[in-house]
Chain A
Amino acid sequence: MTSTTYAHAPGFVAGDRPQIVTSRFEYDDSYTLERALATDGYAGLRAALGRSATDVHDEVKTATVLGRGGAGFPAGTKWGLTPQAVWPRYLVVNGDESEPGTYKDRLLMERDPHQLIEGCLIACYAAGLSQCFLYIRGEMALAQERVAAALNEAYAAGYVGSNILGSEFSVDIVLHWGAGAYVVGEETALIESLEGNRGMPRLKPPFFPAAIGLYGKPTIVNNVETLANLPWLMRNGAAAYTAIGSATSPGTRMVAVSGHVKRPGVYEIINGTTTFRDLLYSDEFCGGIRDDNELKAFVPGGGSAPWFLPDQLDIPFEGRVIGAAGSMAGSGAVMVMDHTTDIPMAALTLTRFYAHESCGKCTPCREGGTWLMRILDRVVAGQGTQRDLDQLLEVGATICPGDFPHASSERLGIAAVPFPYKMTTICFVGPSAYTPVHSALTLFRDEFEAKLVRRTFIPVTGIPVTAVAQ
């Protein structure tokens, strides 16, 4: 088993595995048109243009390219949801990656912008989309520069614009950049932001962006990694694509493993078959927990995902299996906590993130998220009471009524509740603020209790005297 890192692509770790989206990462000039053309660049586009749009669309449907942004919805099916005979249709590329723990899209944009552009073109061709907006997160200066330069090169060389490669196919790709708001990663908020408004999600159902999106027209919103899969798919065909990975999750996917592991990194893994034990412990991937410590818990799919315990290590990285076990594959980000971790503090860092990033549209998230953060803050500071712990769960129940998904635990004798949850908010930011609190409090309540203030009462005066535990 080999694993290779490159000085020019910090964080990425290559191995002896099939590479669908990262094959150019080994070259330090992988972002140039010259390198792209020398390594099959735009060959997928040529292959697509040689076939009818319907044909290309069918190929993508056959390959079941699952959305890599979080929800895991098949891209080919998504393209087919647009209403008949309503034009124009737009493509919006979601490059507003900011889920805690995730950074595959940034690498794909920084290291291989031409692959992304090619993917956008194939999607536009297959689904009849007449303009593409590439929305990149505001804080990613290097990704913006690389994509802008790549677009300029591609326009000059005739790969983007009117009559691409001498065909009928004409499409403009417009680079748009955000300005720092996590919630804009939600597709309707992304569209609002692209229209020049505050990035607040739209109420849905009834209308999803595929029906009424950008400027009120059908709009397809796809994640960067999803589109980056298309050039390879067009070059090699759906059969080769589905030959990799599991039946329900074909291909590969990028997974970032961070936190307390020996070799944190972004890996392109075989989708659906690689287990968390492989990911965390095998030499091919992370090589174990740092200092050979004991694993305490891990977050399987980005900051919004309910936590897993060491009991769940043998679950494969497959959306449905993870869902049934009480969490989600999400955006492919595993965060690992070893036994030295202060669990309430770890939960606070995530809840604080979501409380901070709430757009303020839905009351349960705007108020509830902030309450969760404040109460948790108090508990972590050693000033919480038993009542605070119950209050955390009560506030959470106003955001997510009913059973909240969680992992099973032998230690606690509880059974898994499958994903997803019920929610009183439009998007997932609200529930995500509660997720870490719920996971931490359900699985590690004793650690919270150890932090509580011990109150003793002096009967004569009745004045409470507080003393910190210990």
Chain B
Amino acid sequence: MSRLSEDNVRIALEIIGHYPRARSATIPLLHLAQQQDGYVTNDAIRHIGELVGATSAEVLGTATFYEMFKFEPVGKYLVNICRTMSCALLGGDQLMHHAEHTLGIKAGSTTPDGLFTLEHAECQAACTEAPTLQVNYRYRFRVTPETFDALIDDLRAGRLDSEIPPHGTVSRVRQRIPVDRGVGVVAPEDVTTAPSWMLAPEAAK
């Protein structure tokens, strides 16, 4: 159970600084907490509430709405197999069946070694490449039982570490707005006039 580390608090404050209202940073900060611990801890929820000015219940309320946030430990690799129409038409269910056998677990559970969590997923937006799966939200297209087994072997052996970070990290690139280049945020209630580039033509009318 842990709050955000000092480094992550720095990142959190930078993220909050992008929005006119701190509450807007709730989801990005939940991702940050999940990146730190692999799942969202109760302490992190309390901490995020303090940072964005919301109660823990409000942050928890937001967090539980979204599928990607986990509230208990999951495997290092979260394997999501799509089962919506296009994938189902081309063997998504058979792939899940095979995956359950290969990993020795049912969908929704984690292997005893804590390496893999297997889940059903809804449409992953790669329908022409069916059946698809995602490992920690990295795509694998046109997966066959053979390529699935090879993927699991590669993950076990750590051969994909450079491509697939452990669960919790989604985007490895963070947006940085340079101080000298950013416009900066203004509270919505403090703006009463049109932006400067709009004034000229409207005044001319």
Q: Do A and B come from one complex?
A: yes
Report which A residues bind B (CB closer than 8 A): 10-11, 52-55, 85, 87-88, 97-103, 105-106, 125, 128, 130-131, 137-142, 144-145, 148-149, 151-152, 155-156, 158, 160-162, 167-172, 174-182, 193-200, 215-217, 256-260, 264-266, 299, 303, 333, 335, 337, 341, 345-346, 349-350, 352-353, 356-357, 359
Chain B interface residue count, Cβ-Cβ cutoff 8 angstroms:
72
Minimum CB–CB distance for A305 against chain B, Å: 12
User: Which of A101, A346, A359 has most B Cβ within 10 Å?
Assistant: A101
**Nearest CB in chain B to that of A124: its residue:** B195
19 A-B pairs in the complex with CB atoms less than 8 angstroms apart? A11-B129, A98-B123, A100-B86, A103-B128, A125-B197, A131-B185, A139-B125, A142-B139, A144-B170, A144-B171, A174-B177, A176-B24, A195-B23, A196-B52, A196-B62, A257-B128, A258-B127, A303-B85, A356-B122
Q: When the two chains form the complex, which single residue of B68, B171, B184, B188 contacts A148, counting CB atoms closer than 8 Å?
A: B171
Do residues B175 and A152 form an inter-chain contact, with CB atoms below 8 A? yes
**What string of 1s and 0s marks CB contacts (under 8 Å) between B173-205 and chain A?**
111111001111110100111111110111000
Docked complex Cα distance between A172 and B176 (Å): 11
User: Nearest 7 A-B pairs (CB), nearest first?
Assistant: A180-B67, A196-B26, A179-B66, A144-B171, A264-B128, A258-B127, A196-B23
Do residues A353 and B24 form an inter-chain contact, with CB atoms below 8 A? no
Do residues B170 and A156 form an inter-chain contact, with CB atoms below 8 A? no
Report if A197-B84 is in contact (Cβ < 8 Å); known contacts: A100-B127, A101-B123, A260-B89: no
Q: When the two chains form the complex, which single residue of B185, B188, B200 contacts A216, counting CB atoms closer than 8 Å?
A: B188
Docked complex Cα distance between A406 and B81 (Å): 31
Do residues A180 and B181 form an inter-chain contact, with CB atoms below 8 A? no
**What string of 1s and 0s marks CB contacts (under 8 Å) between B127-138 and chain A?**
111100010111
Decide if B148 is an interface residue (CB 8 Å cutoff): no
**Nearest CB in chain B to that of A130: its residue:** B195
Docked complex Cα distance between A197 and B197 (Å): 33
Do residues A137 and B186 form an inter-chain contact, with CB atoms below 8 A? no
Q: Hey, which chain A residues are within 8 Å of B197, CB to CB?
A: 53, 125, 128, 167-170
Report if A341-B30 is in contact (Cβ < 8 Å); known contacts: A168-B197, A177-B171: no
Q: Can you name 12 extra interface pairs (CB under 8 A) apart from A303-B85, A353-B84?
A: A53-B198, A53-B201, A125-B197, A130-B183, A142-B138, A142-B139, A178-B66, A196-B27, A197-B23, A256-B128, A259-B130, A260-B89
